Structure 1
């Protein structure tokens, strides 16, 4: 019996090659799209899961309040509480502090040659780091981090700095003048490179037991991780955490709340200011999950719709089988087996598509994602279960409904007159195109938002701006500082003479980079610490404002003498966003007013506002304008050089700049990039999301149109005689075309009623991520709707036009 069922199934596939190809291909594309998205989602959700103790690791994070409103979430600030925390809470097995560091790392060679690079993946860690996290060593012991000056480097860093030489026992020097650091370490071990799915990315692990200038690592802001005992209920620990920290750490205030975040949630759900690495976006991940569900939903609706429509052509087959003695259960088994076989073919085809398209998909999402879903235990059983359910659903109508008809009714052709199944197909087409419309409208909205961010005026000009990392060699004496400043002045003088450079300036940070320098500002010198507000702070050269084209709206700009007045009042500028928080109504009201800065040691400095700048987008348009304070650059806090270059002969200009830089600062690495490219990297995640969304939405529309093509093919075949009669009676091609397409077009138009509100809700939620965003207008809905309508009309017309132009004699000759 089974062999007979398989033979019949195979003959039906061969008999209807076009229909079978459309049906299986549509299903396979939907399955493949779903699998690719699920692999990406699985990758994002699987961050840090490779750690053996991942389920028991938590990070202490904080929420900062002002007048009852959360103003910032941070992961740093908790420093010297490890020993006390372990004593007070026995369920805490390890406390790990991790401090990030940036600067110049130099590895002197045995021949006296210096290998130096600017590094931003240096972590100062406690000795418990490698006992808590699973980063395998290829040389050395985790215990070496107990030693002072001990450094563990990754395999890629070892190759970068030492080539094929053995790095163990070699010295490295870490310098950052602006932070007051000059530290030396000895390489004591080599570890594997951090996996892509690690939120802790590093090239160097340095023992926090490494003394150095500016208090050393023990006084730096640190991310604090806890390893708790298996089975620990962390809620009681979290309830007592805030009061414990405030008791044991100076500066704890009631305006800060502390909580524990699981290691597995850090990548997608932290949302911290100045996090330790690139953060993911949970909203994007779950939006992609919705896309995967919708694409698969559309594919299966397609499949079910085509299968039920096709089943009508086999009504006589069912009638004859029942006359010949077939039982209803036999017919149900036959239809279900056919459906299962088609689903399995679709699944095999889908897996083939995934394997061939995975390299391209990796480029699309910008991550080298391996296809590892099949290695996860639940995946294969769940995949087979879904295939079985899909086969069951798509075979349900022909198996249950057709097998219930009486043979005489079927053989007289009365089945077609009942119209049963037509209502089901209309409902399915309605939901199919409603889902397609939601995805298409969403795609258009994402495209508009990304285009808006690229096109919007930033309030400054970053085009043709070349950025060079400034030297960070530590200057330990006034003589060294004076020597450096002379070199700096000489360097700037030479650079300004180049024909390819029209202007040149310096700054402590650049647009597109998160400002890590904060000033603790108060309005009165005797104000209590509770009134201190942290303001983003930049030190800029006197040419900065004009070179970047930032508009001055009140007061005056910095000059070369704007460092400090005779009475020790420091001149500053602020941006418009800082006016209201400082209590000023208008820019003019702020000019000449004094505010005060209080450092961590309690010393207070008097500041005078000499100018107010128009707000500009120092960060992505996702971020609102933050209050900012500007100091005049005195040479001590230079992080970057910025040169406005002419577009002609850029290569020659860069070579000139590099030669002068190396001659002036021979021990510092020369590294450069263009500011517009650097700034636009902030939108890389949004651009990738746009590409992924657009591609899979297009696939959904393609699959829906394939289904529409299949339905139009079956409809015209079933109505061949009707079309012939109408043409004999004088019906025009246009009238027949309208007759065959009107039902489909009505369903698509009706789908708007459902799709538009759902799309509006989804777009509104997504745009909440952006401080500066597009307006949701009718244009966002009308254009995608017209696009879907035209696409569907063309798809249906391909087959219906052929039927409408056919010779009626061929349709009626069998009569």
Structure 2
């Protein structure tokens, strides 16, 4: 019996080749979209799930509260926070702190000239390897228990010790800014860190075993809590604990040196598996994802799959008229309702089966291309997922039932005598359903297209907007990280720094050169507390990022000065000159840029010494980080050679290769034992928009899929509609109707349906897109043309889709049309 159902279903598919192809390919495209997006969502949700204790690991967030509002929300804490919590709160099983470094690494006690600038170095507590489940190839979880030890990745083992045994060898790690100068013994090799980990490192250096201080919040602190610990209750304990410390701080010298009033500090927990998608911090340990974007793509996947099944249902109900007599004959010959429903289910199942096979093969083939489009290293792993695979099969099964049940029930409930007389063809119920489904299909397509356009426009707006400074043709060279441990080293480096810049400027291909302690596109790690001693926020310390810049920085980057002037070197000056940007002027309580000029700002270093600074200029705001964030309030100070991290060199790009070569030669002659690394500043700055750019590309791809699926369905529906109205068209032509009249007759309903779909889709699209844009401080406006363009595009594509068949029907010989039975 089942074989007969399958045989009949196969015959129907073969007999209706065009509609079978439209249904199979339409459903396959919907399934491909769904599988790809679900694979992407699965990858994003899989971050940090490799850790055995991951469900009980949290990162400590530090918040600064002012007048009941959170004014600073940071993933970094004071070095002393972790040990203090571990010693006081019994719920904490383990604690690990991480300090992220970028430094120069070389093989110690070796004549080898191998020197590299490494960006993925972590200074960690010994408990790090015990808390997190990073697999070791050699060594044990106690590899970092001893001081001056290092665990390296497989890639670093090959890079530094190719073909040799790394264990027992020594590496020297230096970074001038932090004063890091460690000669560490290799005690372990770990596997290269998986791409779906928010902790990305190549080397783990053992941190000094000390309690830390309360001066600068520079550490990422992770806690492993006992299973079953209530997060909210524990957070309340944390804040009670920190405020208790604040109350005792007056009697403890280590607290009086701090830069933050601990009474205004709150601590909160962030679950390990939420860090990648739901952070949104500046100065995060790695580039985070965007949970909102991920779920928007999930919505797109659902819409495309629904559009595909709507197509199938639409075509199935439209074909009901053609199959009405077939069903009538079957019922006359004794077929039961259940048998007719089963037959339609088998037909739907066969179409879905071919669609599933086609979609799986296509996804496996295109997964590498899709991974590149997303900017992620993904593989097709859904078949291993115990939740997503059954979920996909359940969706397919539901689609089979829903897409078959309506036409089957409609035909099965009609009386054979009515069906055989053709009365079914005049029913309005099927027409109303098809129109409703078509409206939904167009509305969903319009929503997806508007979303794509908004994402594209926002990304372009951020990339093309001037960030307030001229970054074009700027070559950035990483300064040597060699530690200047004493005055002689500092003087020697200052001479080399001057010699390098002088030699670089001799090149006709170099226009200007300057130096800084950070570059645009980077979070400024150096944050100090400033006190306005002359009014405004008098007496209140304000923590502000501090950027040290060369004297030609303002001129080279063409930053506009709103008041005062740039630095003028005066070795006899009692007060250190400083420049503020507009945001810093507001933060310090000044009424205007002019009001700030000449005012005195006090700072206190980690030893409690107070310094006076005089404001000599106010700079117009520029974007230190991306346009997602508000303008960063920045204090600018004249750079000391010991603080240089980057050289910014404006070159003539007419002969870029020769210019870079000359800069490299000057660098190597001046800094013989340093690695030469460079990049272009504008490209580096735009990397901040990589997530949005990939999201826009993916959104655009699936927007195209949505339009394609809708067009396939519309094409099939047009064929059916014309076939059903073929005699009417013939009669109208005999009575004198022109081709334009026939075309208008067929297309006017489509225009009405698109108009109705726009009425539904536009408000939904505006609401969704406006919600997404709210996460960007600087954003585009959703104007009328941004909404109208997708609607017009859908209308034009829809008209083009049906025009071929419509014109063909209008040009057909009416005699043949009227002879059609």
- Global fold match (TM > 0.5): yes
| Aligned residue in 2 for 1:771 | 777
Shift of 1:81: 4.8
- Alpha-carbon distance in 1 for matches of 2:739, 2:572: 89
| Aligned residue in 2 for 1:566 | 573
Equivalent in 803, 812, 818 of residue 806 of structure 1: 812
* 1:47 lines up with 2:47 in the alignment: yes
Shift of 1:386: 1.3
- Corresponding residue SS for 2:654: coil
- Corresponding residue SS for 1:209: coil
- How many residues were matched structurally? 809
* 1:238 lines up with 2:251 in the alignment: no
Shift of 1:566: 2.9
Task: Say if 1:522 and 1:532, in contact at 8 Å, map to a contact too.
Answer: yes
Q: Note the alpha carbon deviations across 1:271-291, whole angstroms, 9 max, x for none.
A: 223111111111111111111
- Alpha-carbon distance in 2 for matches of 1:220, 1:747: 59
- Alpha-carbon distance in 2 for matches of 1:565, 1:357: 67
* 1:90 lines up with 2:75 in the alignment: no
- Corresponding residue SS for 1:616: coil
Task: Say if 2:469 and 2:558, in contact at 8 Å, map to a contact too.
Answer: yes
* 1:229 lines up with 2:226 in the alignment: yes
Q: Note the alpha carbon deviations across 1:713-762, whole angstroms, 9 max, x for none.
A: 11111111111111112111111111111112211111111111111111
- Alpha-carbon distance in 1 for matches of 2:649, 2:84: 51
Task: Say if 2:78 and 2:217, in contact at 8 Å, map to a contact too.
Answer: no
| Structure-to-structure mapping, 1:130-141, within 5 angstroms | 130-141=129-140
| Aligned residue in 2 for 1:125 | 124
| Aligned residue in 2 for 1:451 | 460
Equivalent in 489, 494, 497 of residue 498 of structure 2: 489
Q: CA RMSD in A?
A: 2.1
- Corresponding residue SS for 1:513: coil
Shift of 1:565: 4.3
Task: Say if 2:484 and 2:642, in contact at 8 Å, map to a contact too.
Answer: no
- Corresponding residue SS for 1:278: coil
| Structure-to-structure mapping, 1:753-772, within 5 angstroms | 753-772=759-778
Q: Note the alpha carbon deviations across 1:218-270, whole angstroms, 9 max, x for none.
A: 98732111112233333322221112234357456232221111111111112
Which runs of no fewer than 5 residues in structure 1 stay unpaired?
none
More deviation, 273-282/229-238: 229-238
Task: Say if 2:580 and 2:635, in contact at 8 Å, map to a contact too.
Answer: yes
More deviation, 523-532/625-634: 523-532
| Structure-to-structure mapping, 1:112-191, within 5 angstroms | 112-191=111-190
Shift of 1:652: 1.4
- Alpha-carbon distance in 1 for matches of 2:239, 2:752: 61
Equivalent in 379, 384, 390 of residue 375 of structure 1: 384
- Corresponding residue SS for 1:145: coil
- Alpha-carbon distance in 1 for matches of 2:63, 2:616: 34
Task: Say if 1:108 and 1:114, in contact at 8 Å, map to a contact too.
Answer: no
| Aligned residue in 2 for 1:682 | 688
| Aligned residue in 1 for 2:251 | none
Shift of 1:570: 0.4
Change (3 A) 1:216 1:489: farther
Equivalent in 650, 665, 672 of residue 666 of structure 1: 672
| Aligned residue in 2 for 1:32 | 32
- Alpha-carbon distance in 2 for matches of 1:78, 1:769: 28
- Corresponding residue SS for 1:178: coil
Task: Say if 1:299 and 1:703, in contact at 8 Å, map to a contact too.
Answer: yes
Task: Say if 1:59 and 1:226, in contact at 8 Å, map to a contact too.
Answer: yes
Q: Note the alpha carbon deviations across 1:157-197, whole angstroms, 9 max, x for none.
A: 11112222221111111212222222221111111111111
- Alpha-carbon distance in 2 for matches of 1:731, 1:558: 83
- Alpha-carbon distance in 2 for matches of 1:88, 1:617: 42
- TM-score normalised to structure 1 length: 0.96
| Aligned residue in 1 for 2:651 | 645
| Structure-to-structure mapping, 1:426-437, within 5 angstroms | 426-437=435-446
| Aligned residue in 2 for 1:270 | 279
Shift of 1:120: 2.0
- Alpha-carbon distance in 2 for matches of 1:258, 1:533: 19
- Corresponding residue SS for 1:609: strand
| Aligned residue in 2 for 1:624 | 630
Equivalent in 647, 654, 659 of residue 660 of structure 2: 654
Task: Say if 1:210 and 1:216, in contact at 8 Å, map to a contact too.
Answer: no
- Alpha-carbon distance in 2 for matches of 1:92, 1:704: 55
Task: Say if 2:79 and 2:214, in contact at 8 Å, map to a contact too.
Answer: no
Task: Say if 1:99 and 1:220, in contact at 8 Å, map to a contact too.
Answer: no
- Alpha-carbon distance in 2 for matches of 1:612, 1:814: 84
Which runs of no fewer than 5 residues in structure 2 stay unpaired?
247-254
Shift of 1:530: 8.2
Task: Say if 1:72 and 1:273, in contact at 8 Å, map to a contact too.
Answer: no
Equivalent in 759, 780, 786 of residue 780 of structure 1: 786
| Aligned residue in 2 for 1:578 | 584
Shift of 1:25: 0.4
